[in-house]
Chain A
Amino acid sequence: MSLPKISRVPASRLLSAVHDPRWPLRSAAPLAVPKRALTQSGYRRPGQPREDKPPWQRIKFDFSKGLEGITKHFKLLRQEFSDRLVGPEGKPIIEHMLEQNRVIWEFRGPDSLQEWTLSSDREIGGQSEIHLKLGKNNETCFLYGTLQSAPPRDGETRYSGYCSMRSKQPLVSFDRKKHHDWSSFNTLHLRIRGDGRPWMVNIAAESYFTHQKDDLYSYFLYTRGGPYWQDVKIPFSKFFLTHRGRIQDNQHPLWLDKVNTIGFTLGDKADGPFQLEIDFIGVCKDYAHTEDFAYEVYKRNPEV
């Protein structure tokens, strides 16, 4: 598990876990103070000139795009109102209260691929590739590509070689954020068929402070490989808190009421092609699992 890092990083140093990479890497000595703080401006590839355009100049205004947008959003708004008439979250209340399992993502048609975003090493200058397509009979999603862990030669990045797939943030009408509410479940159930590589599952929950923007809850996904499907059940109590790929000292369990995205990352430093097939991703309630949290909420600064 490796990730891009610069040689000089602030004093809080922790273990690394791979994850979706959008952290700013600080350059050696900025000549001009950027207008937006580094945590908010996102990652800037070393060597690219800084864009200091004010926000109103970054949006492109177009009439036809606006018209499309209006029709789409009002349609979504109308659907929302009609959903409320059926019950909470568009399901009858008895189903909402009693359901034990819910399939969140299943890949049964080309539209299902639109919900996912791919990212890889290329963004920071590496050579890994990742592609997503539908599997056999359009029934599964097939994630494949090549991993190259040679770091880009920009003087700053030291590790490289990762690929990831992340679900898009669910949006309601007018691009408002919608969160997954999994509070009545306690296990993540995946049906996958990998090639023996170890992946990492990352869940991003809604946070309040900007500093928590890159907080992810991660756990390992070990694939067996082979022609048979693998059912993986990961209880949510096992997910540990990481920030920008580094595991944190102060751990707390994942709060399931406002989950934004889920993602799969590969960064096992083994150069070569990889593939992962996913049948469906669901959540279920395992009554036999009574654990609240798998890691201790330890005291900080223990004596040596």
Chain B
Amino acid sequence: MKSTRCLLQLLRSGRTAARISELLLSPATSRLSVLHNQQQQALRHFHCSPASAKIRPVPARSVDEDKTNSTKSLATQEDLFEQVPEESKTKATFNQVIDVFTKRDIRRRGHVEFIYAALKKMSEFGVEKDLSVYNKLLDVFPKEVFVPRNYIQRMFNHYPRQQECGVQILEQMESYGIMPNVETKVLLVQIFGEKSHPVRKYQRIMYWFPRFKHVNPFPVPQPLPEDPVDLARLSLTRIANDLDSKITVYQLPCTDITESGEEIQLPHIVGIQSPSQMELLAKHNPNKPVFVEGPFPLWLRKTCVYYYVLRADPTPPEEKEEEVYDPERCFDYPLQLDLDLDRDLGDDESFDVDDLDEGPVFAMCMTSQGDQVTLNQWISGLQQNNPILGKVPTLFRLDAGIQELQAAAQPEPGHSHPPHPETQREDPQSDEDPEAVEEEESRRSHGMKQ
């Protein structure tokens, strides 16, 4: 607390020009309280009968303000922001507008409305997540005017409108998840005093935010990668639920020129598969079909990406084969025990629910354009490592509604997506010939990134 008081003293010394020399002469902490009183009294002199304040700075009037006064009868504080042209709405211009306001009037008349207008317009200027801008906005408040001086003022919610305004600034900061810093605290204490509502809110933010900062077990990195392939990598590793899974980029986004000379945007295709999924696929019965389902939504903070899944229906109980353990696999201990032991009710840690068997998931992929052609490419890419896909019929169960959403998100030239409820790929893609195997190998080395 002493450190913030020192900071306070230093900042106050910046403000009161009359007492700079005295403050610089006495840095000892023991005399801080004395200084404090001296400063308070000095400030009271400043407020009651300012000798130096007779020479008031000329309010800076910009040309823009004169224009507003001539065209409109009622000028709101938002006009200052609205006058900035659309293209140049940046942090610098926002700061400029605040400077125009602060330099206009030493008493900062109408600062509450101005701050509310600024809070509303922040997102237009793109500065809603910038802490320095919030600190600058807090700086608009005149200092030490709203600090209660005795117990009666402290009791009766001194300057309630300004306190509410301060709380609203902090509330907007909190809703965007921005952590305030010590400069915010010093400003708040200077403006409102130590037991005011904005300072209490600041304390609450500083208490709870660090507690909940790392509570997400699946944190999304900030900022999100802009490259769609990187984004697909990130999201696929996230949903894979398996650290051994490997990502394969089957196609990078590129522009292809077809025979007729049209330019087509080829989408990226990124797939993921883990060794356990490969094993499951290898054990799959070739007579049963596999389904390509999608697109399913995945939200990463504010962006929604779509992924497709290759899965099969669960095997009905009569066809389930029990895995036979080979007793010679491990000689140290038996892999299977035939003991008839049951857990007591007091030790039973499993829930009394039927296990949901929804069928195995074999692979996932992400692509910007989810039509059958692209997904076919994915399946053929998967076939490199999973030869069973050549024998198994693949059915496409694509949700037409979300497909159109995806198409709308990325406009393609003259593409319409007819709904594909179930289309069967009749023949397996390649026969198991030794030549075909060689072909596949050559394809593998052709251009696949592993």
Q: Which of B53-61, B68-76, B131-139, B196-204 contacts A (4 or more CB under 8 A)?
A: B196-204
B389 proximal to A (CB < 8 A): no
A303 proximal to B (CB < 8 A): yes
* List of B residues within 8 angstroms of A302 by Cβ: 203
Residue from B297, B351, B354 having most chain A Cβ neighbours under 10 A: B351
A13 proximal to B (CB < 8 A): yes
Q: Which of B174, B189, B304, B350 contacts A272 (CB 8 A)?
A: B304
Q: Which of A15, A98, A269, A282 contacts B346 (CB 8 A)?
A: A98
Taken together as a complex, chains A and B put the C-alpha atoms of A103 and B355 apart, in Å, by: 13
Q: Which of A103, A139, A274 contacts B356 (CB 8 A)?
A: A139
Taken together as a complex, chains A and B put the C-alpha atoms of A198 and B300 apart, in Å, by: 10
The 7 nearest A-B residue pairs measured at CB: A226-B239, A196-B299, A98-B346, A225-B298, A304-B194, A98-B345, A270-B302
Taken together as a complex, chains A and B put the C-alpha atoms of A103 and B350 apart, in Å, by: 10
**B side interface size, CB within 8 A:** 56
Contact B217 A227 (CB under 8 A): no
Taken together as a complex, chains A and B put the C-alpha atoms of A263 and B215 apart, in Å, by: 20
Q: Scan A90-105; emit 1 where CB is below 8 A from any B CB, else 0.
A: 0000110011110100
30 A–B contacts, CB within 8 A, in A order: A13-B167, A13-B197, A13-B200, A15-B204, A16-B175, A95-B345, A98-B344, A99-B345, A100-B345, A108-B354, A139-B354, A139-B356, A220-B216, A222-B217, A224-B217, A224-B218, A225-B239, A226-B298, A227-B364, A228-B239, A247-B208, A270-B299, A275-B297, A279-B353, A279-B356, A282-B351, A282-B353, A303-B1, A304-B194, A304-B203
Taken together as a complex, chains A and B put the C-alpha atoms of A280 and B309 apart, in Å, by: 24
B157 proximal to A (CB < 8 A): yes
Q: Is the interface of B mostly helix, strand, loop or mixed?
A: mixed
Which residue on chain A has the smallest CB distance to residue B200? A13
Residues A265-304 near B (CB distance < 8 A): 269-270, 272-275, 279-280, 282, 284, 295, 301-304
Contact B299 A225 (CB under 8 A): yes
* List of B residues within 8 angstroms of A247 by Cβ: 204, 208
CB distance from B345 to the nearest CB of A (A): 4
Q: Which of B239, B240, B311, B352 contacts A103 (CB 8 A)?
A: B352
Taken together as a complex, chains A and B put the C-alpha atoms of A279 and B195 apart, in Å, by: 49
* List of A residues within 8 angstroms of B300 by Cβ: 196
Taken together as a complex, chains A and B put the C-alpha atoms of A292 and B195 apart, in Å, by: 32
Taken together as a complex, chains A and B put the C-alpha atoms of A16 and B298 apart, in Å, by: 26
B residues within 8 Å of A by Cβ? 1, 4, 157, 164, 167, 171, 174-175, 189, 194-195, 197, 199-201, 203-205, 208, 211-212, 215-218, 235, 238-241, 296-302, 304, 307, 309, 311, 344-354, 356, 358, 361, 364
Asked whether A225 and B353 contact (CB < 8 A) given A274-B299, A295-B211, A304-B195, the answer is no
Q: A11-B157, A222-B215, A227-B239 are in contact. List 13 more A-B contacts (CB 8 A).
A: A100-B346, A100-B348, A139-B354, A140-B356, A189-B351, A196-B298, A224-B238, A270-B304, A279-B356, A280-B351, A280-B353, A304-B4, A304-B199
A residues within 8 Å of B by Cβ? 1-2, 8, 11, 13-16, 94-95, 98-101, 103, 106, 108, 136, 139-140, 159, 189, 195-198, 220, 222-229, 247, 249, 269-270, 272-275, 279-280, 282, 284, 295, 301-304
Contact B345 A284 (CB under 8 A): no
Taken together as a complex, chains A and B put the C-alpha atoms of A224 and B300 apart, in Å, by: 9
* List of A residues within 8 angstroms of B345 by Cβ: 94-95, 98-100
Taken together as a complex, chains A and B put the C-alpha atoms of A15 and B211 apart, in Å, by: 13
Which residue on chain A has the smallest CB distance to residue B163? A11
* List of B residues within 8 angstroms of A303 by Cβ: 1
Asked whether A228 and B361 contact (CB < 8 A) given A101-B348, A101-B350, the answer is yes
* List of A residues within 8 angstroms of B352 by Cβ: 101, 103
Taken together as a complex, chains A and B put the C-alpha atoms of A253 and B51 apart, in Å, by: 59
CB distance from A268 to the nearest CB of B (A): 8
* List of B residues within 8 angstroms of A220 by Cβ: 212, 215-216
Which residue on chain B has the smallest CB distance to residue A230? B241
Contact A270 B301 (CB under 8 A): yes
Taken together as a complex, chains A and B put the C-alpha atoms of A270 and B204 apart, in Å, by: 25
Taken together as a complex, chains A and B put the C-alpha atoms of A95 and B175 apart, in Å, by: 47
